[in-house]
């Protein structure tokens, strides 16, 4: 009886199948072993390259930051000045600036500066002479070297204290001369702990194949307790890979591959030949058998060809007894799964775009023009442009935004805003690439085309339309910071930084503002230190209850309005004012201090962190201080001595020019014990009687020096000083200069 198709196929293919598959299994493992070994080598090489690039990028960033501080930071320059008038506070400011610099540098580090003229070294441990500094030998060797050390040193032992080895650490060092260009007057030294570098490498390769070991430029291990064979020999035997950094000169040796994978490599070529012969033999047999059984397969191929013409509803939904129907269903299901995998690939493309844009804008990854174009092509993005501009779009009053909308609605509104931006830009024939990297900020890159003569004017038009549409349709406002135009992709980080800086000036320009470099030309660069003094004056005036704090607050507002100040500057000024308000009211009654601590500290913090514009900050702060002033007046009014001490203060203000004015004289006049009067005066005004009287006299003398041409002798007599020498001494203690010099400096301004 004639066999059916199933048994004919089974008996025809089974012998060839078992023979060929058995041979191919052995050949497969032999070839796979060789492929795995090559893949391991490639993986180790990629990991090592990634580690080298990451460490070099961080060290280069640290070097650029140090050079920037040498060139631009006035506080650091003051340390190298030849002036001998520096006091302890000057060194404290320099030390603070060093701490700030240390905090922004990558890896755990320490910093010290050396003044060659004075022979002084300033570190975190304090100021010391060069002879007493523990790192003297390295510093002198590097400083006196004929060659300018432009890169990082090999690992060495570092200790700040002479004859002490307890605190010694292995570090790599970078020394930069001051000034950066010209005859050197000193140096700044940055030490990065070797342990931090090793920890950074460990974190990078935590999920990879194995550790990476650091070598010095002399091919010695960073860890002196370990030894290493010749890295070139390790590279030759394909077990370990050696990579050298062009920037630091250090070597990187990757992990050793697993020896178990090399057991089949000896028979690799033999099994390839055997497998090839088996395949040829199988092909001959299969060709003959397939020729007889080809027609059913041809029918299936025809059905697959017509698959694209059928709709999804026409697919087979159930299995049939017929073998061909079953195969047809399986193939249809396979094609459906392929479509699902294609959709997953598209979703992954969105994630890759977001990460690439983030790395590009933040400068985490540096591309050449060629590699950048290749990356853009992989992401299906345009590569042709005339200029690029980075823009930051920030949602105003974001805290209120998060309270008004739940998380789902927030994502929806951001999605709408992103799509509106793309549609408006497309209508203006601009391409935009935008992502939300911060909850309240959207980063945007606009491509400007040369044939349309597009410039930042076109960018402004697009962003104005986005702002208008958002306000009209979404009910909230957005502020925009526009970066500089750039010609090369590698410069986008600079444009992005400028855009973020511009949008940070929103407190000065107001909500819904569009801030570009042209807007900043009318605003002077903000220097926060002079305004901190005015904030301190407000606190002192508030404590004295002289009714002038509103005037000083208005003056501070006007000064801030003229300059460029960010949200961080506003927080600093508010916190500084709150600190001095605590300090000024500390000597007053306990009820006042408890009132400030328990009821108003949180409100001051809310003003510091929640005010988005200068007008809002002024109004909220003025209202809070007025309420606090009324509360303090209420507490004072319940005391019987408040009116009496107020009369004492008025008497001092009227008779401060009397040379005989003293605590005993006022005590006799008001019939009180001198000690008790002094105690009450300090409780009410937070200042001793004698300090208030001296300050009153010297403030009047200051105004006379600035506004009149009277001799110093006459001014001293008018404010109650019989001896001009005493007046000189008191004035210098308060204002830092003798009266004559103070007047000359004021006239010189």
Write out pLDDT tens, residues 603-618.
777 777 777 777 787 8
- Higher pLDDT pick, 661 / 450: 661
Coil, strand or helix: which one is 690? helix
Judged by average pLDDT, the poorest of 17-31, 102-116, 429-443, 547-561 is: 17-31
Write out pLDDT tens, residues 350-380.
888 888 888 888 888 888 888 888 888 888 8
Q: Which fold has domain 48-274?
A: Beta-Lactamase (3.30.450)
The H or E element spanning position 447 is strand 441-448
The H or E element spanning position 434 is strand 431-436
737, 745 contact by CB (below 8 A): yes
- Bridge-based pairing state of the strands 387-395 and 441-448: antiparallel
Does 563 have pLDDT greater than 90?
A: no
Contacts of residue 215, defined as CB under 8 A and 6 or more positions apart, other chains included, come to 221, 222, 228, 231, 250, 251, 252, 253
- Higher pLDDT pick, 460 / 639: 460
pLDDT score of 726: 84
Two tokens at 723? 């001896």
C-alpha to C-alpha distance for 725 and 743, rounded to whole angstroms: 17
Tell me, rounded to whole angstroms, the distance of Cα 19 from its chain centroid.
Answer: 64
518, 498 contact by CB (below 8 A): no
Selection from 160, 182, 191, 188 nearest residue 76 by Cα: 188
The pTM of this model reads 0.41
Cβ burial of 171 (10 Å; 0-12, 13-18, 19+) is buried
The H or E element spanning position 564 is strand 563-564
Going from the C-alpha of 603 to that of each of 545, 596, 608, 635, the distances in angstroms are: 21, 10, 9, 20
C-alpha to C-alpha distance for 610 and 571, rounded to whole angstroms: 9
Coil, strand or helix: which one is 735? helix
Strands, sheet with 213-215, edge to edge from the N-terminal-most edge strand: 213-215, 251-253, 242-244
Residue 744's pLDDT band (boundaries 50, 70, 90)? Answer: confident
> Domain 640-749 carries which CATH code?
1.10.10.60
C-alpha to C-alpha distance for 204 and 157, rounded to whole angstroms: 25
Residue 501 sits at the vertex; the CA angle it makes with 68 and 459, to the nearest 5 degrees, is: 125
Q: Which fold has domain 366-520?
A: Alpha-Beta Plaits (3.30.70)
HSE value, Cβ hemisphere, 13 Å, CA-based, for 604: 21
C-alpha to C-alpha distance for 493 and 362, rounded to whole angstroms: 6
Does 308 have pLDDT greater than 70?
A: no
Which residue ranges make up each domain of the chain?
A: 48-274, 366-520, 526-638, 640-749
C-alpha to C-alpha distance for 254 and 179, rounded to whole angstroms: 40
Contacts of residue 312, defined as CB under 8 A and 6 or more positions apart, other chains included, come to 336
Residue 496's pLDDT band (boundaries 50, 70, 90)? Answer: very high
Residue 423's pLDDT band (boundaries 50, 70, 90)? Answer: very high
Contacts of residue 740, defined as CB under 8 A and 6 or more positions apart, other chains included, come to 712
**Considering the chain, what percentage of its residues have pLDDT values greater than 90?**
8
Q: How many residues does the chain have?
A: 749
HSE value, Cβ hemisphere, 13 Å, CA-based, for 444: 30
pLDDT score of 165: 62
pLDDT score of 468: 92
pLDDT score of 394: 92
Coil, strand or helix: which one is 199? helix
- Bridge-based pairing state of the strands 524-525 and 563-564: parallel
pLDDT score of 313: 44
Going from the C-alpha of 629 to that of each of 17, 242, 594, the distances in angstroms are: 97, 71, 14
C-alpha to C-alpha distance for 211 and 204, rounded to whole angstroms: 10
Two tokens at 159? 């200790």
418, 434 contact by CB (below 8 A): yes
173, 190 contact by CB (below 8 A): yes
Two tokens at 465? 């339309």
Phi-psi region of 387 (alpha: psi -120 to 50; beta: other; left: phi over 0): beta
Tell me, rounded to whole angstroms, the distance of Cα 727 from its chain centroid.
Answer: 51
Domains 48-274 and 366-520 share a fold: no
Write out pLDDT tens, residues 83-138.
767 778 888 888 888 888 888 888 888 898 988 888 888 888 888 888 888 888 88
C-alpha to C-alpha distance for 408 and 412, rounded to whole angstroms: 6
C-alpha to C-alpha distance for 586 and 66, rounded to whole angstroms: 41
Phi-psi region of 132 (alpha: psi -120 to 50; beta: other; left: phi over 0): alpha
- Bridge-based pairing state of the strands 478-486 and 514-515: parallel
Going from the C-alpha of 729 to that of each of 474, 722, 733, the distances in angstroms are: 66, 13, 6
């Amino acid at each position: 009886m004639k066999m059916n198709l199933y048994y004919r196929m089974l008996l025809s293919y089974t012998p060839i199948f078992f023979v060929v598959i058995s041979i191919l299994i052995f050949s497969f493992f032999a070839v796979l072993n060789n492929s795995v070994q090559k893949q391991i080598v490639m993986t180790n090489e990629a990991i090592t390259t990634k580690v080298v690039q990451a460490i070099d990028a961080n060290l280069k960033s640290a070097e650029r930051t140090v050079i920037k501080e040498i060139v631009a930071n006035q506080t650091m320059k003051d340390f190298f000045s030849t002036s001998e008038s520096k006091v302890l506070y000057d060194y404290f400011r320099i030390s603070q600036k060093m701490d700030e610099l240390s905090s922004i540098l990558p890896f755990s580090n320490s910093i010290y500066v050396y003044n060659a003229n004075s022979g002084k070294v300033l570190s975190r441990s304090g100021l010391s002479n060069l002879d007493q500094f523990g790192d003297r030998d390295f510093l002198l060797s590097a400083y006196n070297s004929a060659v300018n050390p432009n890169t990082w040193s090999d690992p060495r032992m570092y200790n700040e204290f002479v004859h002490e080895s307890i605190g010694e650490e292995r570090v790599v060092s970078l020394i930069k001369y001051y000034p950066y260009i010209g005859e050197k007057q000193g140096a700044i030294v940055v030490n990065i702990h070797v342990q931090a570098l090793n920890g950074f490498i460990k974190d990078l390769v935590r999920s990879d194949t194995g550790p990476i070991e650091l070598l010095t430029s002399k091919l010695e291990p960073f860890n002196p307790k370990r030894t290493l064979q010749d890295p070139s020999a390790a590279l030759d035997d394909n077990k370990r890979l050696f990579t050298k950094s062009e920037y630091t000169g250090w070597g990187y040796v990757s992990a050793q591959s697993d020896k178990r994978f090399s057991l089949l490599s000896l028979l690799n070529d033999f099994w390839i030949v055997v497998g090839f012969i088996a395949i040829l033999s199988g092909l001959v047999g299969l060709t003959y058998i397939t020729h007889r059984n080809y027609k059913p397969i041809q029918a299936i191929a025809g059905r697959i060809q017509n698959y694209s013409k059928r709709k999804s509803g026409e697919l087979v939904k159930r299995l049939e007894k017929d073998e061909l129907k079953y195969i047809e269903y399986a193939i249809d299901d396979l094609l459906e799964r392929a479509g699902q995998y294609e959709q997953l690939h598209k979703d992954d493309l969105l994630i890759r775009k977001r990460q690439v844009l983030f790395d590009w804008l933040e400068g985490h990854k540096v591309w050449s023009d060629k590699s950048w174009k290749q990356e853009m092509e992989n992401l299906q993005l345009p590569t042709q442009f005339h200029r690029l501009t980075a823009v930051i779009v920030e949602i105003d009053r974001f805290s209120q935004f998060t309270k008004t909308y739940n998380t789902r609605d927030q994502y929806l509104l951001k999605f709408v805003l992103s799509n509106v931006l793309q549609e408006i830009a497309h209508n203006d024939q601009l391409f935009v690439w935008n992502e939300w990297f911060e909850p309240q900020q959207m980063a945007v890159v606009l491509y400007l085309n040369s044939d349309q003569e597009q410039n930042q004017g076109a960018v402004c038009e697009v962003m104005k339309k986005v702002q208008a549409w958002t306000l009209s349709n979404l009910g909230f406002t957005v502020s925009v910071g526009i970066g500089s135009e750039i010609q090369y992709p590698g410069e986008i980080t600079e444009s992005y930084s400028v855009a973020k800086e511009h949008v940070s000036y929103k407190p000065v320009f107001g909500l819904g503002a569009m801030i570009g470099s042209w807007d900043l030309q009318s605003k002077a660069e903000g220097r926060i230190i002079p305004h901190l003094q005015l904030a301190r004056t407000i606190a002192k005036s508030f404590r004295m209850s002289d009714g002038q704090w509103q005037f000083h607050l208005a003056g501070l507002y006007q000064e801030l309005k003229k300059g460029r100040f960010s949200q961080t500057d506003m927080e600093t000024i508010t916190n500084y004012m709150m600190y001095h308000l605590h300090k000024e009211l500390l000597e007053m009654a306990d009820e006042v201090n408890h009132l400030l601590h328990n009821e108003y500290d949180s409100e001051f913090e809310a003003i510091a962190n929640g005010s988005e514009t200068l007008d809002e900050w002024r109004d909220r702060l003025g209202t809070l201080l007025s309420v606090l002033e009324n509360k303090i007046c209420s507490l004072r009014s319940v005391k019987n001595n408040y009116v009496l001490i107020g009369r004492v203060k008025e008497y001092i203000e009227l008779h401060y020019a009397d040379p005989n004015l003293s605590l005993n004289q006022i005590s006799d006049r008001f019939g009180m014990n001198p000690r008790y009067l002094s105690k009450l005066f300090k409780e009410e005004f937070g200042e001793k009687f004698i300090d208030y009287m001296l300050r009153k006299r010297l403030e009047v003398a200051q105004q006379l020096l600035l506004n009149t041409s009277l001799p110093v002798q006459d001014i001293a007599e008018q404010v109650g000083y019989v001896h001009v020498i005493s007046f000189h001494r008191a004035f210098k203690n308060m204002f830092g200069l003798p009266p004559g010099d103070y007047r000359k400096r004021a006239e010189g301004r």
